[in-house]
Amino acid sequence: MNANTVKEECSSDQKLVLVFFGSPHKNGTSAKLLDAFLAPFYGNAEVRIIHSYEQKIAPCLGCNVCAAEQTCSQRDFDGLDLLIRRADAIVVATPVYNLGFPAPLKAIIDRTQRYYAARFFLGVQKPIEKHKTAALLVTCGSSEPEDAALLYRQLERVFSVMNTKLKGMTVWADTDADDGHSTFEKARKAARDLALAILCEM
Ligand SMILES: Cc1cc2nc3c(=O)[nH]c(=O)nc-3n(C[C@H](O)[C@H](O)[C@H](O)COP(=O)(O)O)c2cc1C
């Protein structure tokens, strides 16, 4: 990237949709659901996809440095911190792994502890200045809706200190049951509706 590109990027007032992608599979069910969701954004916003399995963000160390000042003892999250601050919308697209997030995505989520600490240990009213709307896209092998609901609860709590309103969730369930075609169509439409609702708020 040359200097002009960086400058253009930094001064860009184009809306930013930041996606945290939790699946190790770039062409799996989560990717298919994300594609359906993102379709209305292309041409209307800048879309950045963070592939958590490639990003390899280290787990939170629980060192409590962020409880003493607004920073983190590890530097590998700094780029994501800047993107989070700039984003207008945040999307988390992921499969359910053992009733939770896949480990690399969970590491990213835990690293947002710095915003929680800023809010509750340092008394910062808005650890993230810019308001955002967010969406959760979940795929799960089982047909149990509570598997996805557990992810929703976790994210809602994390976003509560990030000036981020979790607008809704689209679940593609039962992906292990068949080839996925029969269950995908409903999820595709729901993802599109959620995307349009978020686009309207940006
Ligand atoms: C390690 C692992 C744990 C899983 N745990 C769950 C689970 O708790 N509940 C569930 O419904 N599906 C579970 N699944 C199934 C995946 O969520 C499902 O196959 C999903 O569609 C995979 O998404 P992908 O195609 O993007 O990889 C698990 C899969 C793996 C590999």
Going from the Cα of 142 to the center of ligand 1, the distance in angstroms, rounded, reads: 8
* Ligand 1 geometric centre to CA of 109 (Å): 18
Would you state the pLDDT for residue 144? Answer: 83
CB of 20 closer than 8 Å to CB of 162 = no
Do the beta carbons of residue 15 and residue 202 sit within 8 Å?
yes
* Angle between helix 29-38 and 181-201 (nearest 10): 40
Neighbours of 174 (CB within 10 A): 17
Q: Which has the closest alpha carbon to 34: 110, 78, 93?
A: 93
Specify the pLDDT at position 2.
35
pLDDT of amino acid 153:
97
**Residue 183 near ligand 1, beta carbon < 6 Å:** no
Over residues 34-48, the pLDDT tens digits come to: 999 999 999 999 999
Which residues does the chain have with pLDDT short of 70?
A: 1-12, 178-181
Domains and CATH numbers, the chain: 17-201 (3.40.50.360)
Taking the whole predicted model, whether its pTM rises above 0.85 is answered as yes
Nearest CA residue ID for atom 23, ligand 1: 95
Calpha distance 182→147 (Å, rounded): 20
Q: DSSP secondary-structure letter at 143? A: S
Q: Is 174 helix (H, G, I), strand (E, B) or coil?
A: coil
Atom from ligand 1 closest to the CA of residue 176: 19
CA distance 52 to 34: 14
pLDDT tens column, 3-12 = 333 334 434 5
The predicted pLDDT at position 6 comes to: 34
What is the per-residue pLDDT for 176?
A: 86
* 180 within ligand 1 shell (Cβ under 6 A): no
List the alpha helices (DSSP H) in the chain: 3-11, 29-38, 52-55, 78-86, 103-110, 113-120, 145-159, 181-201
User: Which atom in ligand 1 lies closest to the alpha carbon of residue 175?
Assistant: 21
Ligand 1: which residue has its CA nearest to atom 3? 97
CB of 170 within 6 A of ligand 1: the answer is: no
Residue with the smallest CA separation from ligand 1 atom 26 is 30
Centre of ligand 1 to C-alpha 174, Å, is 10
pLDDT digits (tens, 9 = 90+) for 161-170: 999 999 999 9
Among residues 52, 51, 119, 129, the alpha carbon closest in space to that of 86 is found at 129
Closest by CA to 137, choosing from 190, 175, 85, is 190
